[in-house]
Amino acid sequence: MDVSRPAAGRAYRVGLLGLASGSDAPVLAFLRQGLRDLGYEEGKNLVVEYRTAEGKYDRLPALAVQLVGLKIDVFVTYGTPGALAAKQATTTIPVVVALIGDAVAAGVVPSLARPGSNITGSQYQYPELMGKRIEVLMNATSHLARVAVLFNPANPSMRPALKTMEETARYLNVELQQIEARGPHDFDGALAAMAERRGQAFVLADDPRR
**Regarding the domain with residue range 126-204, which homologous superfamily does it belong to in the CATH classification?**
Response regulator (3.40.50.2300)
The pTM for the full model equals 0.71
Domain ranges in the chain are: 12-123, 126-204
Percent of the chain with pLDDT over 90: 45
The pLDDT value given to residue 26: 86
Architecture of domain 12-123: 3-Layer(aba) Sandwich (3.40)
Say if residue 4's pLDDT is above 90: no
135-158, pLDDT tens digit by residue?
Answer: 888 888 878 899 999 999 888 888
Domains 12-123 and 126-204 share a fold: yes
If you average pLDDT over every residue of the chain, what do you get? 88
Longest dimension (CA), the chain: 67
* 2: pLDDT strictly greater than 70: no
Query: Residue 167: which region, alpha, beta or left (left: phi > 0; alpha: psi -120 to 50)?
Result: alpha
